[in-house]
Structure 1
């Protein structure tokens, strides 16, 4: 690997160390070159793509890797994303500038409350800029995709995808050893009926450019600024989707500051706070049920149990949201039962 990287970079590569890649199909390395310059190597496995890519409503096969396509688009808007130093199609390697190892999550997990709020408001500022700069490429009145250069505008959250993610929870969550029993046929029917209603509400929301994983683990802190990573699954989605990803992060709970942060964001984007709260809760139910099922899938199928510890937080978010949605009492009672 060192010899090949030396050839590609045109400078001697001294060492390559593997980095933790989480649940990703991709493999990450830090590349040390002569002169103490470092890079990040992202290796893309042949023929592999995320389940989310496989079932989205993308009509044509992508002509290039989604990461490269979306990075170029976001960079063209002046948004903070990693620099692509080079791409080797032969090796399926993307070499990026090294932003270090400090994520937003690392910064806030030991911080004082005022600093936690400061950093999350900084992240919300970035989300507002992202949504405002990408809004010019969307016809919000007709939901028409205007930008054809960025793959995110060629795919979207629709009923099929939302329902697949709900059903993914139903399929995998109850395989947890901590779950006392399997849902009855009647409970499964209630789950499907209630979640289909949530899907209808989510599909009726205005759609915007959606990062999809705009959360503390995908926001790098470098030179006191935030840089977005892991944006390759971007698509059109409900206007609160990324907000939920950030403020209902399974890896870091900001419940103590949630109302202040929602008001901060809502004030910038012109939301009525009650409408924002309801939309936020609906999207929380969908996203966090999906995450909980996915964490079990990652354990059972990918043999990686690292994410199981985040299920209680995720399901806690679901229960908190459903408690504020009395029209979904049937789903709330079902979730509490198990």
Structure 2
């Protein structure tokens, strides 16, 4: 039997002798991984703690590298105040409590402005020399969709055909994989900080899985969010804005974003289905219809007609009977 360390005791030791050891601790909602987050507070001060157990496969070193890279580029990644790589603990700057999703729930009229600010960050990222990283080339991008046919639909023949066609579309419609993509660039991972100016208004979280991808990957992540609907007016405005300020043809950007959205959301269908089926994480059930709709909507882009022909009748809608069959 594998020994599982007492994370509470390890955290107590990690914080021992620091200014934060007696601060109040409050858990923050967990993500899809085995990481957990705590907010430590004292009077008006606050920091965040990341607890990423190495025994579950977590590795905080990539987060540290990317955080330092982003901060050096003038972006609002959290400063790292204290780290223990061996045990998987970080004390981080608290960037704020209002993510984009909360800000927009309170005032939906802010959507165009917030999404433009988030797009400014992506424009800045594409100007930088990307650090060495894992690369999502077309073949890798195609292979990443296979999980859909393992957990969402049981169709090995479709897995081969989909991976091949997806890779071909990525090759035809998207640029080279030379842009650092933060990968989970969506409303719940972006902190809105209106008290700051410029790029510092957008706090960045959950970027430890960043990789090199074609231009527009994070734009697809932002606009085709698994957790909230972005208005089509905002989608069109943001694509036009991105195209203008990166000096690209708007139609080219639109096709690339649609292609990358389909690749990304096919994979998310598989990942969410796995979380539901293998780990009993039922909260992902409510997100499946939106993710499926993103795939179906972006398959309608004229540039994706070949992929649409492959998938349109073989990727069923996530209805209750289908989901119930997973847990029987």
Superposition TM-score tier, normalisation by shorter sequence: 0.7 to 0.9
List aligned pairs for 1:127-166, cutoff 5 A: 127-132=122-127, 134=128, 137=129, 150=131, 153-166=132-145
**In the comparison of the two structures, how many residue pairs are matched?**
300
The offset of 1:202, in angstroms, is 6.3
TM-score (norm. length: structure 1):
0.80
How far does the alpha carbon of each residue in 1:301-338 deviate from its partner, in whole angstroms, 9 at most, with x for none?
23212122111111111111111222334224334655
Alignment root-mean-square deviation, CA: 2.5
Pairwise CA distance, 1:298: 1.3
**Alpha-carbon distance between aligned partners in 1 of 2:293 and 2:216, rounded to the nearest angstrom:** 19
Tell me which moved more, 118-127 or 195-204.
195-204
TM-superposed CA distance for 1:12, in Å, is 4.9
Q: Which residue of 214, 220, 238 corresponds with 1:238?
A: 214
Matches for 1:12-31 after TM superposition, within 5 Å: 12-31=21-40
Moved over 3 A (4+): 1-6, 47-50, 185-193, 199-206, 335-338
Distance of 2:94 and 2:193 partners within structure 1: 10
- Cα distance in 1, alignment partners of residues 308 and 274 from structure 2: 27
Q: Cα gap change, 1:214/1:10 in structure 2, threshold over 3 Å: closer, same or farther?
A: same
Counterpart CA distance in 2 for 1:197 and 1:6 is 50
- What are the within-5 Å matches in structure 2 for residues 87-106 of structure 1? 87-89=83-85, 91-106=87-102
State the secondary structure of the residue aligned to 1:271: coil
Q: Which runs of 5+ in 2 are unaligned?
A: 1-7, 196-200, 318-328
CA distance in structure 1 between the partners assigned to 2:140 and 2:159 by the alignment: 19
What CA distance in whole angstroms lies between the structure 2 residues aligned with 1:163 and 1:190? Answer: 10
Secondary structure, counterpart of 2:144 in structure 1: helix
Cα deviation for residue 125 of structure 1 reads: 1.2
Secondary structure of the corresponding residue to residue 209 of structure 1: strand
**Other structure's SS at 1:154 match:** coil
Aligned twin of 2:5: none
What corresponds to 1:208 in structure 2?
Answer: 179
Matched, 1:124 2:114: no
Match of 1:333 among 312, 317, 320: 312
Instruction: Determine if contact 2:61/2:85 at 8 Å carries over to the other structure.
Output: no
So what's the TM-score if we normalise by structure 2?
A: 0.82
Q: Distance in 1 between matches of 2:35 and 2:249?
A: 40
Larger CA deviation: 201-210 vs 77-86: 201-210
Change in Cα spacing, 1:43 to 1:287, as seen in structure 2 (3 Å) is same
Q: Is the 8 A contact 2:126 2:179 kept in 1?
A: yes
- Structure 2 match to 1:177: none
Distance 1:297 1:246 in 2: 23
